[in-house]
Amino acid sequence: QVQLVESGGGSVQSGGSLTLSCVISGFTGRELSMGWFRQAPGKERGTFAEREGVAGIDSKGTTNYADSVKGRFTISQDDAKNTLYLQMNNLKPEDTAVYYCAAESSTYLLLTPEFFSYWGQGTQVTVAS
């Protein structure tokens, strides 16, 4: 059974930084693409359609970012630790959301929630102005 566990969320001031981590276990496929999504306050938690794609990385290491986070967020992975990271710099109040890690057995990546089969439970990020 594939499990994803996020950590690293918290509260920061505008302009601050956070690093999210996502540990994946139980994956036995050969190709893995992963992504970070977020669900803003007021959006129904758990509804896939309300989750915004933030950043993704395919099985070859090619990355993809939402325009709203380009230049501020960096997605990376440590294969040895089975861990996905999201380094978030220059955080803004509009980045406040529950952040989810997602995974899919695929060589390519589509940064849409419908593409991913496996999800973590989410971690809260709050940015104060």
Q: How do residues 51-101 score in pLDDT, each as one tens digit? A: 999 999 999 999 999 999 999 999 999 988 799 999 999 999 999 999 999
User: What's the distance, CA 54 to chain centroid?
Assistant: 6
Is pLDDT at 7 greater than 80 in this prediction?
Answer: yes
- Contact between 115 and 53 under an 8 Å Cβ cutoff? The reply is no
% residues pLDDT > 90 (the chain): 87
Of residues 43 and 84, more confidently modeled: 84
Is pLDDT at 19 greater than 80 in this prediction?
Answer: yes
Q: Hey, which residues does 22 pair with through a beta bridge?
A: 6, 84
- What pLDDT, on a 0 to 100 scale, did the predictor assign at position 54? 98
- What pLDDT, on a 0 to 100 scale, did the predictor assign at position 44? 62
C-alpha to C-alpha distance for 110 and 104, rounded to whole angstroms:
10
Of residues 12 and 80, more confidently modeled: 12
